[in-house]
Structure 1
Amino acid sequence: MLSHLQIRDFALIDSVELELRPGLTVLTGETGAGKSIVVDALQLLAGGRAGAEAVRHGAERAEITCAFELAGVSGELRQWLAEQSIGGADELIVRRVVAADGRSRAYLNGQAVPLQALREAGELLIDIHGQHEFQSLTRSAAQRVLLDEYGSLTELTSQVGIAHRAWLGLLNRTLELESKARDRDTRLELLRYQAQELEALKLRPGEIEALGEERARLANRGRLAAGAHTALAELYENEGASAHAAVSRALQALRGLTALDGQLARLLPMLEEASIQVREAARELERYRETLDVDAARQEEVERRLAAVEELSRKHRVAAPELTERARQLALELATLERAEVDLAALRKQLAEALESYRTQAQELSARRVRTSRELSRDISARMQTLGMSGGRFEADVTQNGNADPTEHGIDSIEFRVTANPGQPPRALAKVASGGELARLSLAVQVSGAAQATRCMVFDEVDAGIGGAVAEI
């Protein structure tokens, strides 16, 4: 229960405090007196959006605080508070502060919480019904939601929705396989031919890159051989003028001088290492030069191999390095199509089972909706008698659409019907109810739906559309 409300520097309000008692509290006043601003403040406490415009002009921040007594609240709220580690067994203080720059902070029992947590708490604490909300009562979807909430059928409705999504997923897969099965033979023939082409190519990992490098080497082997020959001569083969000969002469000169100056001895290992490195480089160059001595047949073989790769690459519209992945995809699709008949039969069986599961749950939901509709009809009809609609009658009609396609909300069409005059048959709410009657029916429906709830209910302009003698009740 909301027991205390304090508002400071919010919109047009400088400061106001309200002490509330159990039961019905009514705020009345002229248009523009600020009644709806109080409702707006409660919406902020419930996690609504806030901006700089919420702060009174000239103030640094707006601050809204309220106290809720927790005696008799739902176990769901207590469990949520325990999960958030928010203490306080008897009272919950909710506070929202909005700075002049639009930033806001929220607190529960003095503990700072994110805005999402404030919204979750607000859904469990307060239920706000704004102006003209009664107009939604004429929509079929809103009527279905009200009926399900009244009968506590939300969980069962959710299970029906899950069963519907499972059935719909299987249906789409079945239709996809059936579509593929229609041109299965033609597609199988094409896939087998394409897969055999790629299988015959027998591409090895990294082969395309290696062939490309070999093609470039073979095409330029004249220049490569000349360069290798020159380098080898400079390193080793030119007698007396090679790098190896120069290093050897330097070694010989220094060995004779180390007896005169020991500091030269530390240079000898470096020169010896250089001599070894030059010889190794010369051997590698010799081996490389020998690899360039290939016959023309090898070059033709490389060109043919690369031409075959490029041809299949164009045919399959993929880059050459992606041919291996393309072969894997074709093999997977081929295997899928070859077992399509078996898969399709199994899928049709699963689809039938899913449909049966859906219909079983939908039938249970429908039966409970019918029972709930009787209770709701009696409840609202009784409340109508106290709202200036003496002799009026309300009916929540539930009709099964047995042959219609399954929907996520079940197999029922739900329509609220009403008559405000004794002796007249009930007709669709949207066709016969005036604005004032809709407003009163909305109040009756919302109060009936909240009869067992422990949330604080707030109605803004609950008498909208009501005039004449009824407004004087």
Structure 2
Amino acid sequence: MLSGLTISNFAIVSELETQWHAGMTAITGETGAGKSIAIDALSLCLGERADAGAVRPGAKQADISARFDITHLPKAQQYLQEHMLESDDNECLLRRVIAKNGRSKSYINGAAVTAAQLKELGQYLLSIHGQHAHQLLLKNDHQLHLLDEYAGHKTLLDNTASAFDHYQTLQRELKALEAKHAQQQAQKQLLEYQVAELDEFALEEDEFEQIEIEHNTLSHAQHLLEGSQKQLYALYEGDEQTISGALQHSANAMVELAAIDPALEGIANMLNEACVQVEEASRELRGYCDNTELDPERLSQLDQRLASAISLARKHMVNPKELVTHHQEIKASLEAICVDDERLAQLDTEINDALALYQQHSEELSKSRQDAATALSELIGTSMHELSMENGRFAIELDNDSVRAPSRLGQDRIEFLVSTNPGQPMQPLSKVASGGELSRISLAIQVIIAQRVTTPTLIFDEVDVGISGPTASAVGKLLRRLGESTQVICVTHLPQVACSAMNQFFVAKEVANDETYTQMKALSSQGRVDEIARLLGGDNISATTLANAKELIAAYG
């Protein structure tokens, strides 16, 4: 529960520190005094959007801290443990600092966090019901939200949402593939032709380079053969003096000279090695000449393959040496299109299966909603009677249609129906309920759901607008009964509601040195009597209004 709230330089509050207690607490004050200032501050501590307007004029920053006792809040304790934010005791301190430029910093137990984390933790600590909740009640999506809150079937909602997301993902994939498929059909025909053409030509890796080399060799075969034979004669096989013979003669001479002067042995050895090298070169040259043939037929074949490769490369607008790589790339593109075609065929089955699973979860959710709607309708009808709508009847109409477009929330259409007068048929809430009736119905629903959801602290911000007389007494009793099991904080202008509270704060606005200040203080027993008397009779408090105030507090408290 909320145990403390400290506010510094927020809006028209300079400094404020309040202590809070269990049970029902009422907040009252003059019109325009800022009775909702504490709730606005708490909203910021729970991660609501902050802006520069939150900072008191002339101040550098607004600083708000809310302290909660989480002794009996296992979900809050678990969240803090999972995020390593727990404290040594069973208290949790939320803090929000807003700079005058609108930027803010958030803290949980002194550790810096994001505003989103404040909001995540806040759902386990406190729930705020605003004065415009009755207006939301007219919206069908909000009606469905209220029913789901009451039903508490989060697992069914999650299953339905998850199944819908999967179904939508497959639908998006199908749409993208169909659009892609339409564009690819013309491309597919071209690729099939190109791949077939290149498959038939069947150029292998590095084959073009090898063809170029062989073609170049065969086209110069005559010149190569004649030149090689000429050098072979000069080196070794000539009829006259050859290079080999002359070299051998020099080597023999140097061997004789080296026998006289050993300094010439190195030269003699080199010449002998040269003789061996020339002889080896001559032998290999002879083999080359013997194996070199003039092959016009092979040259013609190479001419044709080379020309075809160049022609194909020009046709595909690539370098002939890149033709094999290009072949592999367009083949891969064609295979990808074929894979897309196969995926399109698979998607029909997968989408049908996903839709069937979604509808299964949607029907389970709808059944749970129907059961909850029956119970909630009875409870709301009973509360309407308690709130001076003796002839009121309430029903929740659910229409589930599997043909209806799927959504994350299922396929239910909801309508809150009401009849407030005898003989009046049940009609949609928006058509028959007056402002006051709508406020009472809204309050009844909020109290019922609050009891079901078991939020530790509930704040009602002027939800009793449009209510007066005996109905106000019923509202006060309703909130006090709720306060017996939950901490209830209620901003109100009704004396019947205020006197039902166990504790009461008074909010006042003061002007000093041309500056406006809002103060909020806990009321003593006598202070409560004075404030209830003010609510009853206005600024002119008489002995009669004071006596009435005492009677109200005694009767309701």
TM-score calculated relative to the size of structure 1: 0.69
1:84 equivalent to 2:80? Answer no
Q: Quick one: distance in 2 between partners of 1:26 and 1:464?
A: 15
Amino acid at match of 1:78: Q
1:456 correspondence with 2:457: yes
| Distance across 2 between alignment mates of 1:331 and 1:111 | 55
Query: In 2 relative to 1, CA 321–130 (structure 1 residues): closer, same or farther, beyond 3 Å?
Result: farther
Max Rg structure: 2
Structure with the bigger RCO (C-alpha within 8 Å, sep 6+) is 2
SS in 1 for 2:123: helix
Q: Flag the 1:306–1:416 CA change in 2: closer, same or farther, 3 A.
A: farther
Structure 1 range deviating more: 301-310 or 369-378: 301-310
Match of 1:240 in 2: none
Paired position in structure 2 for 1:153:
153
Pairwise CA distance, 1:154: 2.5
For 2:329, the equivalent position in structure 1 comes to: 325
8 A contact 1:167–1:355 mirrored in 2: yes
Aligned residues: 382
Q: Secondary structure of 2:146's partner?
A: helix
Q: Distance in 2 between matches of 1:54 and 1:175?
A: 47
Distance 1:20 1:302, change over 3 A: same
1:375 aligns with 2:375: yes
Which residue in 2 is equivalent to 1:30? 30
Equivalent positions of 1:32-431 (< 5 A) are 32-73=32-73, 75-85=74-84, 86-170=86-170, 190-200=190-200, 305=309, 308-313=312-317, 324-334=328-338, 336-337=340-341, 344=345, 347-431=347-431
| Contact 1:313–1:320 under 8 Å retained in 2 | no
Does structure 1 conserve the Cα–Cα contact (< 8 Å) formed by 2:195 and 2:330?
Answer: no
Q: What residue is the counterpart of 1:230 in the other structure?
A: none
Deviation of residue 438 (structure 1)?
Answer: 2.1
Tell me the distance in 1 between the aligned counterparts of 2:12 and 2:180.
67
Number of the residue aligned with 2:266:
none
Deviation, structure 1 residue 303: 8.2
2:443·2:464 contact (CA, 8 Å) conserved in 1? no
Deviation sequence 1:377-435 (CA, Å, 0-9, x none): 12222222233323312211122214434433223221111122244232111211222
Sort the Cα spacing of 1:423 and 1:108 in 2 relative to 1 into closer, same or farther, 3 A.
same
The residue matched to 1:124 in structure 2 has which SS?
coil
Aligned equivalents of 2:114, 2:167: Cα separation in 1: 38
Q: For 1:450, what is the secondary structure of its paired residue?
A: helix
Q: Percent sequence identity over matched residues?
A: 37
Q: Give the distance between the partners of 2:46 and 2:307, measured in 1 at CA.
A: 74
Q: Is the 8 A contact 2:191 2:330 kept in 1?
A: no
Check conservation: 1:69, 1:90, Cα contact below 8 A. yes
Q: Does structure 2 conserve the Cα–Cα contact (< 8 Å) formed by 1:195 and 1:331? A: no
Q: Does the CA contact (< 8 Å) of 1:419 and 1:425 recur in 2?
A: yes
Q: Is the 8 A contact 2:61 2:98 kept in 1?
A: yes
Instruction: Give the TM-score, by structure 2 length.
Output: 0.59
Q: Equivalents in 2 of 1:33, 1:451: separation in Å? A: 31
Distance 2:164 2:432 in 1: 35
Q: Deviations over 1:152-200 (max 9, x none)?
A: 1222112112223333444566678889999999887555223323545
Residue identity in the other structure for 1:5: L
Structure 1 residue 129, shift from structure 2 partner:
2.9
**CA distance change for structure 1 residues 165 and 205 in 2, over 3 Å: closer, same or farther?**
farther
Aligned to 2:32, the other structure's residue is in SS state: coil
Kindly indicate whether the alpha-carbon contact (under 8 Å) linking 2:47 and 2:115 is maintained by their aligned counterparts in 1.
yes
- Mapped to 2, the partners of 1:422 and 1:178 lie a distance apart of 59
In 1: Cα distance, 2:31 partner to 2:416 partner:
33
The gaps in structure 1 that reach 5 residues or longer are: 215-294
Cα deviation per residue 1:218-242 (whole Å; 9 max; x = unaligned)? xxxxxxxxxxxxxxxxxxxxxxxxx
What is the CA-CA distance between 1:28 and the residue it aligns to?
2.1
- How far, CA to CA, are the matches of 1:432 and 1:320 in structure 2? 79
Structure-1 separation of matches of 2:168 and 2:101: 48
Instruction: Give the Å deviation of 1:32.
Output: 1.8
Asked if 2 retains the 8 angstrom alpha-carbon contact of 1:435 and 1:466, the reply is no
The question of whether the paired residues in 1 share the 8 Å contact of 2:70 and 2:76 is answered with no
Superimposed CA distance per residue, residues 336-356 of structure 1 (whole angstroms, 9 cap, x where no aligned partner): 54x57xx73x54444443333
Offset, 1:105: 2.9
**2: CA distance, partners of 1:188 / 1:103:** 56
Superposition deviation, residue 122 in structure 1: 1.9
Deviation sequence 1:94-115 (CA, Å, 0-9, x none): 2222234444333323333333
Mapped to 2, the partners of 1:468 and 1:100 lie a distance apart of: 45
Rate the CA distance shift 1:369–1:192 in 2: closer, same or farther, 3 A. same
Secondary structure of the residue aligned to 1:56 is coil
CA deviation digits over 1:279-337, x for unaligned, max 9? xxxxxxxxxxxxxxxx9x999987875553343249xxxx9987753331113213554
Mapped partners of 1:100, 1:365: distance in 2 = 47
Q: Name the aligned partner's letter for residue 65 of structure 2.
A: T
